[in-house]
Chains A and B, each alone.
Chain A
Amino acid sequence: MQSHSNWSPSDPGSALLAERYGNDSEAVVEALRLIRTRQGGLTSAAIKSVAAALKLPASRVYGVATLNCMLGVAATTSSDKTARVCDGPACWLKGAAQACTALEARLGAGWRVERSSCLGLCDQAPAALLEERPVGGLPTCPEHVEATLPITVETVYELPRPVEVRVMLARAGRVDPDSLDSALDHRAYVALEFALTAPREGVLAEVEAAGLQGRGGAGFPTGHKWWMVEQAPQHPKYVVCNADESEPLVFKDRVLIDSDPHQLLEGMALAGYAIGANEGYIYIRGEYGPQATRLERAIAQAEACGCLGDHIFDTNFSFHIHVHRGAGAYICGEETALLESLEGRRGEPRLRPPYPTTHGYHGLPTLINNVETFSAVPAIIDHGAGWWRGLSSAATPGTKLYTLLGHVNRPGLFEAPFGLTLRQIIDDFGGGMRPGATFRFALTGGAAGTLVPPGLLHVPIDYASAAQGVSLGAGAFLVCDQTISPVSVLRELLHFFELESCGQCTPCRIGTHQARQILDRLAAGQGRACDVDELSRLADTLQRGSLCGLGRSAAIPMQSALRHFRPDFEAAVHDDQADH
């Protein structure tokens, strides 16, 4: 029999890792990323070396390495670089498949070209990541490739659209995101300094009074969540920012971080003060490398000036923020999967209850909010809850970031109050449909959103409008004209859910796979007679039986598409196949 231990202290790889990460089992993704960068791929030997250094079982490290698609487990080491071409809906509409072929031809040897779930670069579609570098506006025919690569993307949203109301984007384009001085000139950290002069209950009361709702998509009342964490008896408590923005068609958090990172950091510090936490973590998706670097720089600057770190503004309040990079897994945006991943395990959702508010990071009370939610807090504290409520006449107070894509004249990102109708979004903010384009339907909310027919263009959209068939979700809108079939859009969505399911529970693991197979047939006009009913049954099983929100919400676009566009699905059934 072979020896039981494969660890030898002389292994230079593990010795180096052990020294750098000091047996920190939560650094598993960081350690894997380091090895992958050095060796060009993760082999069994490399994984065992990481496991030995961090004193973890090899099976656990292997599980993490294979769940996260940016880590790339391979049979052999390779010096090839990886290009990941976005496979999201916005890039799909703009011919990402052709762009992928063209890019592959252009890059040639030394590159491995893969497809990837939405990279959050929808406003530059078709887009790709060359290793960690984002490139956008990829040419779709090979002869144009030569001239235009490389393209480095810098998103600028300096100029508001005519009807925009800017709060979270108020400083976008006006401050230098890499300069604390520039941010301080524009009232950064004023709210925090002011809040620290008064008891922390004041911050909590103000956020509660403002009626702020979570911007991740569910719209949970933020003040109530803060209160629950504040009330939880255990200590210490943690603040976690969910910056794992992986919902297709959504890139608002990227823009918020790129345009004003200190606003987010200030919001997190205010939350920490309100709930009595001294540590904060930003879990940012691995694809947002430049944004993670930007946050780290901003944190270092703020700590050096006493705006963050120990004894903020010479008070007794200390708050440290750490940036944790993910490695390519949509499921890690589910808050309990995020916590698992943060703790160095596979990002698989936890059973609930208990909830993170009492049993979160390390089993301790943890406040998890979205980037946009935290980013709204400084303005609320600075101007007051009444002002925030006055921004909007809709039931949901305040403003929201929207991403608008597809066949409109001015796609992109804007900020506005709640209660907009799809008609307003297209005409007032998007400059109307493109010449020659007639509105056929829109996908609203994100991949886990609704397909909206023309008959619902008048519905005011907020967190409650999903009941009427128009979900707000994370605020994404993909507008499609007469050339796009709802069947093919739904196929793209299920393709996404299939690839991003963690595989833990049966309905999601197999249901999304079966639904995608059916939609492949239907999108090709080769559907079988029972396919439409089968799709409907799968949606029902996913919605009723899935363990977490990912599986349950994969059913939302299926059910909504079948409700409004059933004839399109039925027309895709090929009669010859009827008796198979």
Chain B
Amino acid sequence: MTIRLTINDQLVEAEPGQSVLEAARASGIIIPTLCHHRDLSPVGSCRLCVVEVEGAPGEIAACTLAAQNGMVVRTETPALGQFRKTILEMLLSSYDDDGNSNVVRAKTEFMHWANQYGAKRLARSAAVARFPVAADPNPFIRVDMNKCILCTRCVRACAEVQGRFVWGVSQRGCESEIAAGAGTMMLEARCESCGLCAAVCPTGALEDKLSLGAGQPDRLVTTTCAYCGVGCQLDLNVKVGRIIRVTSNPQAPVNGNHLCVKGRYGYDFVHPANRP
């Protein structure tokens, strides 16, 4: 049975079990999110996707709100804009990217929303680096937890998709942090370096080491991974005739966003120095 609801004066249809956020996205209405990811279970923790629902008090997170018949939802009001700006400024107050001059992504999801809602870093509450930059010796994934906003996408991606349970939340309150295993290095915590955590990270706290400083690609070439018989699809990020990065393609029929260490990071054989 199809559910009918109104979002921003637009009549929207949803399947039973869909959230307001999913229903909105399916109809092209964009609600900002950080902790939400389409492949991962919703947790409703960042509070950026809050919306107003007629007849319900206060703001409600759209990612965990089940769509119901006759619901009247507003996703952009002045009050919501102010609320989101406050949330983003709170996150910025504990975000420090000083140790990151050679980023992989020109603009992260987090910075995109911060700019959109005019959230600024207040000079007097500027964050201080709490963690060593790039201290984890994982050969493919660079870790800078000073940029972490605790959206827990990496934790859920590793547990729900990859099934390795490397990442977890530790400590509590404003001391909370994402840690590998029992506070160890990633490989010691049984990491397979599939890179999914870096792929879903909205801030660049986790990044692809091989692509640091490589700049932005000219074009994407969708191809099939040459390693095994599964047939994963991936996007080669090409710059001046060279592969600078491999990203997963959410539309890939076999694997979606999922890739293994070879598919995501094993591309240097294409450009060896001794190849004629």
A580 CB within 8 Å of chain B = yes
A231 CB within 8 Å of chain B = no
Task: State in angstroms the CA–CA spacing of A44 and B170 once bound together.
Answer: 13
Contact A580–B91 (Cβ < 8 Å): no
Contact B93–A500 (Cβ < 8 Å): no
Q: Choose, from A2-10, A99-107, A407-415, the stretch at the interface.
A: A2-10
Contact B183–A500 (Cβ < 8 Å): no
B50 CB within 8 Å of chain A = yes
Considering only residues 486-514 of chain A, those with a C-beta below 8 Å from chain B are: 498-507, 509-514
Cβ contacts under 8 Å, A44 to chain B:
181-184
Give B39-54 as 1s and 0s: 1 = Cβ < 8 Å from A's Cβ atoms: 0001111111010000
Cβ contacts under 8 Å, B38 to chain A:
none
Selected contact of A62 from candidates B86, B168, B176, CB within 8 Å = B168
Selected contact of A59 from candidates B94, B181, B187, CB within 8 Å = B181
Contact B173–A509 (Cβ < 8 Å): yes
Cβ contacts under 8 Å, A5 to chain B:
190
Cβ contacts under 8 Å, B190 to chain A:
4-5
A48 CB within 8 Å of chain B = yes
**Closest CB-CB distance, A458 to chain B, in whole Å?**
30
**Closest CB-CB distance, B18 to chain A, in whole Å?**
16
Total interface residues on B, using CB and 8 Å? 47
Contact B90–A59 (Cβ < 8 Å): no
Task: State in angstroms the CA–CA spacing of A509 and B46 once bound together.
Answer: 10
A1 CB within 8 Å of chain B = yes
Contact A545–B59 (Cβ < 8 Å): yes
B267 CB within 8 Å of chain A = no
Contact A513–B174 (Cβ < 8 Å): yes
Q: Is the interface of A mostly helix, strand, loop or mixed?
A: helix
Cβ contacts under 8 Å, B83 to chain A:
541, 544-545
Task: State in angstroms the CA–CA spacing of A400 and B173 once bound together.
Answer: 32
**Closest CB-CB distance, B27 to chain A, in whole Å?**
24
Cβ contacts under 8 Å, B187 to chain A:
1-2
**Closest CB-CB distance, A397 to chain B, in whole Å?**
28
A67 CB within 8 Å of chain B = yes
Look across to chain A and name the residue whose beta carbon is closest to the beta carbon of B46: A506
**Closest CB-CB distance, B166 to chain A, in whole Å?**
6
Task: State in angstroms the CA–CA spacing of A511 and B93 once bound together.
Answer: 10
Cβ contacts under 8 Å, B42 to chain A:
351
Given contacts A6-B188, A61-B182, A507-B90, contact A513 B173 (CB under 8 A): yes
A202 CB within 8 Å of chain B = no
Cβ contacts under 8 Å, B170 to chain A:
59, 62-63, 65-67
B172 CB within 8 Å of chain A = yes
Cβ contacts under 8 Å, A1 to chain B:
187
Cβ contacts under 8 Å, B50 to chain A:
545
How many inter-chain contacts with C-beta < 8 Å in the A-B complex?
Answer: 138
Contact B150–A503 (Cβ < 8 Å): yes
Give B180-195 as 1s and 0s: 1 = Cβ < 8 Å from A's Cβ atoms: 1111100111100000
A547 CB within 8 Å of chain B = yes
Contact B189–A59 (Cβ < 8 Å): yes
Cβ contacts under 8 Å, A498 to chain B:
173-174
**Closest CB-CB distance, A75 to chain B, in whole Å?**
9
A58 CB within 8 Å of chain B = yes
Cβ contacts under 8 Å, A500 to chain B:
172-173
Residue among A5, A62, A499, A500 with most chain B CB within 10 A: A62
Contact A511–B165 (Cβ < 8 Å): no
Cβ contacts under 8 Å, B189 to chain A:
58-59
Task: State in angstroms the CA–CA spacing of A65 and B91 once bound together.
Answer: 25
Cβ contacts under 8 Å, B168 to chain A:
57, 59-60, 62-63
Task: State in angstroms the CA–CA spacing of A545 and B58 once bound together.
Answer: 8
Contact B182–A503 (Cβ < 8 Å): no
B233 CB within 8 Å of chain A = no
Contact A503–B43 (Cβ < 8 Å): no
Task: State in angstroms the CA–CA spacing of A67 and B179 once bound together.
Answer: 13
Write the residues of chain A forming the contact surface with B, with a CB cutoff of 8 angstroms: 1-2, 4-6, 44-45, 47-48, 51, 57-63, 65-67, 73, 329, 331, 346, 351, 498-507, 509-514, 537, 541, 544-547, 580
Given A44-B182, A511-B90, 13 more pairs with CB closer than 8 A:
A1-B187, A48-B182, A57-B165, A59-B170, A66-B171, A66-B172, A498-B174, A502-B173, A503-B171, A503-B176, A504-B169, A514-B90, A580-B124
9 contacts between A and B (CB under 8 A): A57-B165, A59-B155, A67-B171, A500-B173, A503-B150, A503-B171, A510-B94, A545-B50, A545-B59
